[in-house]
């Protein structure tokens, strides 16, 4: 067992350990002030089917979150394995995150990345302070899924693809 150090190395050790768990990559986007705003979010979690809820975690120092938070609707796009460039762009600190990105919006301002595995049209239901992040609980108002489009995966601080396992679960 490794004990988490109490020094400045703590963040490095925790970041390395957290990176051992793979996650999907989502784009959380909206139109804010007439312009597209968005960011990559890898801390996306389904929460409830009834009512339909999901959550994301947003870093408290994010300059993008205040823009998104003001929108009545947020679009969450589960990026597909061919959208590595979109994932990198949306994770940039500066620059045009939407350069070369194909997208569409809902009437309420949610912005969706075209070609994604799934879209969720959401509204903020609650925000919970959680250390250096905020857990944002989102009510799902609409959904579109493309289950045959493999998702982009983030693991070990890199974008990856899932392996296609030809053996179905439960077969002998």
66-93 pLDDT, tens digit per residue, is: 999 999 999 999 999 999 899 999 999 8
On whether residue 16 sits in a domain, the answer given is: no
Q: What is the CATH number of the domain that holds 142?
A: 2.30.110.10
Q: What's the token pair of residue 115? A: 């070609």
Query: 59: domain range?
Result: 23-156
d(CA 143, CA 119): 6
State mean pLDDT over 161-168. 68
pLDDT 10s digits, 149-159: 988 887 676 77
pLDDT reported for residue 150: 87
On whether residue 164 sits in a domain, the answer given is: no
Of the pLDDT bands very low, low, confident and very high (cuts 50, 70, 90), residue 168 is low
pLDDT reported for residue 99: 92
Q: How many domains does the chain have?
A: 1
On whether residue 161 sits in a domain, the answer given is: no
Give all strands (DSSP E) within the chain, no chain letters.
23-24, 26-32, 35-41, 45-48, 53-59, 74-78, 103-105, 111-113, 118-130, 133-145, 153-155, 158-160
Torsion sign across C-alpha atoms 19, 115, 88, 31:
negative
Of the pLDDT bands very low, low, confident and very high (cuts 50, 70, 90), residue 30 is very high
pLDDT reported for residue 161: 74
Residue 93 or 10, more confident: 93
């Amino acid at each position: 067992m490794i004990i988490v150090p109490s020094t400045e190395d703590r963040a490095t050790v925790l970041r390395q350990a957290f990176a051992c768990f793979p996650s999907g990559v989502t784009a959380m986007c909206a139109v804010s002030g007439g312009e597209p705003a968005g960011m990559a979010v890898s801390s996306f979690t389904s929460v409830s089917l009834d009512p339909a809820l999901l959550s994301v975690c947003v870093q408290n120092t994010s300059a993008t979150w205040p823009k998104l938070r003001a929108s009545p609707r947020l679009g969450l796009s589960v990026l597909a394995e061919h959208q590595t460039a979109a994932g990198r762009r949306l994770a940039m600190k500066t620059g045009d995150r939407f350069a070369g990105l194909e997208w569409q919006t809902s009437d309420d301002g949610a912005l969706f990345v075209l070609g994604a595995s799934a879209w969720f049209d959401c509204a903020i239901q609650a925000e919970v302070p959680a250390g250096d992040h905020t857990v944002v609980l989102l009510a799902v108002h609409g959904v579109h899924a493309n289950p045959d489009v493999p998702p982009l995966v983030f693991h070990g601080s890199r974008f990856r693809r899932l392996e296609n396992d030809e053996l179905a679960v439960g077969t002998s």
